[in-house]
Structure 1
Amino acid sequence: MTGTRSAEERARDRELAALVVLARAPGLGLRTVRRLVDRHGGASKALAALRRAAPDELRGLRRGGRVPLARTVRALGPVAETAAQALLREVTEKELGVTGYTGCGEVAYPVGLRDLLDPPPVLFQCGGGELDPERTIAVVGTRAASSYGLRTAYTLGRELGRWGWTVVSGMARGVDAAAHAGALDAGGRTIGVLGTGHDHEYPAENRDLYRRMRLHGILLSEFEPGAPPTRSAFPRRNRVIAALARGVIVVEAGGKSGALNTADHGLDLGREVLAVPGRIDDPGAAGCLRLLRQGAGLVAGVQDVFDALGWLRLEPQGPQPEEGSAPVSEGPSRDMRLLGALSRGPCSPDELAVGLEMPVAKVLGGLGRLELEGWVERRPGGNFAAVGRRGGC
Structure 2
Amino acid sequence: MNNKGFEYSYWIALQQVPGLGPQRLLKLVEHFGSAEAAWEAEEGELLNLPWMGKAAQELIAWRRNIDPARLGKEFSRLKVGILVFTDARYPPELKSIYNPPPVLYYLGDLTALEGLKVAVVGTRRPTPYGLKVAHVLAQGLAEAGIIVVSGLAIGIDAAAHRGALQGKGKTIAVLGSGVDVIYPRENARLYQEIAREGLILSELPPGTPPERYHFPARNRIISGLARGTVVVEAGEKSGALITADLALEQGRDVFAVPGPITSPQSKGTNNLLKQGAKIVTGVGDILEEYFPAEVQVPTLEVVAGKSGGFQLSPIEEKVLAAVVSSPLSLEEIVEATGLSTQEINVALTFLELQGLVLRLPGGLYLRSFPGD
Q: Tell me the TM-score range normalised by the shorter chain.
A: 0.7 to 0.9
Deviates more, 1:129-138 or 1:272-281: 129-138
1:268-325 residue CA offsets vs partner (Å, 9 max, x unmatched):
1100011111111212111111111111111111110012x331521xxxxxxxxxxx
Alignment-derived partner of residue 185 in structure 1: 166
Q: Which runs of 4+ in 1 moved over 6 A?
A: none
Task: Verify the 8 A CA contact 1:133 1:246 in the aligned structure 2.
Answer: no
Task: Verify the 8 A CA contact 1:156 1:301 in the aligned structure 2.
Answer: yes
Alignment-derived partner of residue 300 in structure 1: 281
Task: Verify the 8 A CA contact 2:107 2:200 in the aligned structure 1.
Answer: yes
RMSD of Structure 2 on Structure 1 (CA)? 2.2
Aligned runs of 1:114-263 on 2, under 5 Å?
114-132=95-113, 134-263=115-244
Amino acid at match of 2:73: R
Q: TM-score, normalised by structure 1?
A: 0.72
> Counterparts of 1:45 and 1:268 in 2: how far apart (Å)?
33
Relative to structure 1, the CA distance from residue 71 to residue 297 in structure 2 (aligned partners, 3 Å threshold; closer, same or farther) is same
Does residue 311 in structure 1 map to residue 291 in structure 2?
yes
1:79-135 residue CA offsets vs partner (Å, 9 max, x unmatched):
42x2x3333323322222111113xxx112111110123111211110014244641
- Picking from 62, 76, 88, the partner of 1:75 is 62
- Picking from 81, 96, 106, the partner of 2:80 is 96
- Picking from 23, 28, 42, the partner of 1:31 is 23
Does residue 61 in structure 1 map to residue 61 in structure 2?
no
Task: Verify the 8 A CA contact 1:153 1:175 in the aligned structure 2.
Answer: yes
> Counterparts of 2:297 and 2:215 in 1: how far apart (Å)?
39
Deviates more, 1:233-242 or 1:113-122: 113-122
Task: Verify the 8 A CA contact 2:137 2:283 in the aligned structure 1.
Answer: yes
Alignment-derived partner of residue 112 in structure 1: 93
Task: Verify the 8 A CA contact 1:141 1:257 in the aligned structure 2.
Answer: yes
Amino acid at match of 2:286: V
> Counterparts of 2:282 and 2:46 in 1: how far apart (Å)?
58
Relative to structure 1, the CA distance from residue 263 to residue 312 in structure 2 (aligned partners, 3 Å threshold; closer, same or farther) is same
Amino acid at match of 2:203: E
* Secondary structure of the corresponding residue to residue 130 of structure 1: helix
Amino acid at match of 2:25: V
Q: 5+ residue gaps in structure 2?
A: 300-349, 354-372
Q: TM-score, normalised by structure 2?
A: 0.75
> Counterparts of 2:203 and 2:297 in 1: how far apart (Å)?
39
> Counterparts of 1:190 and 1:268 in 2: how far apart (Å)?
23
Q: 5+ residue gaps in structure 1?
A: 315-368, 374-379, 383-393
- Picking from 248, 256, 278, the partner of 1:275 is 256
Alignment-derived partner of residue 366 in structure 1: none
Relative to structure 1, the CA distance from residue 155 to residue 168 in structure 2 (aligned partners, 3 Å threshold; closer, same or farther) is same
Amino acid at match of 2:211: T
> Counterparts of 2:42 and 2:215 in 1: how far apart (Å)?
30
> Counterparts of 2:290 and 2:166 in 1: how far apart (Å)?
25
Amino acid at match of 2:277: A
* Secondary structure of the corresponding residue to residue 111 of structure 2: coil
> Counterparts of 2:94 and 2:297 in 1: how far apart (Å)?
33
> Counterparts of 2:17 and 2:126 in 1: how far apart (Å)?
38
> Counterparts of 2:89 and 2:146 in 1: how far apart (Å)?
19
1:135-160 residue CA offsets vs partner (Å, 9 max, x unmatched):
10000000011101100000011111
1:348-387 residue CA offsets vs partner (Å, 9 max, x unmatched):
xxxxxxxxxxxxxxxxxxxxx34649xxxxxx9x9xxxxx
Task: Verify the 8 A CA contact 1:251 1:288 in the aligned structure 2.
Answer: yes
> Counterparts of 1:122 and 1:144 in 2: how far apart (Å)?
32
Amino acid at match of 2:157: D
Task: Verify the 8 A CA contact 2:109 2:195 in the aligned structure 1.
Answer: no
Relative to structure 1, the CA distance from residue 185 to residue 268 in structure 2 (aligned partners, 3 Å threshold; closer, same or farther) is same
> Counterparts of 1:191 and 1:231 in 2: how far apart (Å)?
21
> Counterparts of 2:81 and 2:228 in 1: how far apart (Å)?
26
> Counterparts of 1:220 and 1:54 in 2: how far apart (Å)?
32
Task: Verify the 8 A CA contact 2:230 2:257 in the aligned structure 1.
Answer: yes
> Counterparts of 2:193 and 2:151 in 1: how far apart (Å)?
15
Task: Verify the 8 A CA contact 1:247 1:266 in the aligned structure 2.
Answer: yes
> Counterparts of 1:141 and 1:182 in 2: how far apart (Å)?
14
> Counterparts of 2:182 and 2:44 in 1: how far apart (Å)?
41
* Secondary structure of the corresponding residue to residue 187 of structure 1: coil
> Counterparts of 1:171 and 1:186 in 2: how far apart (Å)?
17
What's the offset of the Cα at 1:238?
0.4
> Counterparts of 1:157 and 1:207 in 2: how far apart (Å)?
20
> Counterparts of 2:117 and 2:37 in 1: how far apart (Å)?
33
- How many residue pairs match? The answer is 301
> Counterparts of 1:131 and 1:214 in 2: how far apart (Å)?
11
* Secondary structure of the corresponding residue to residue 249 of structure 1: strand
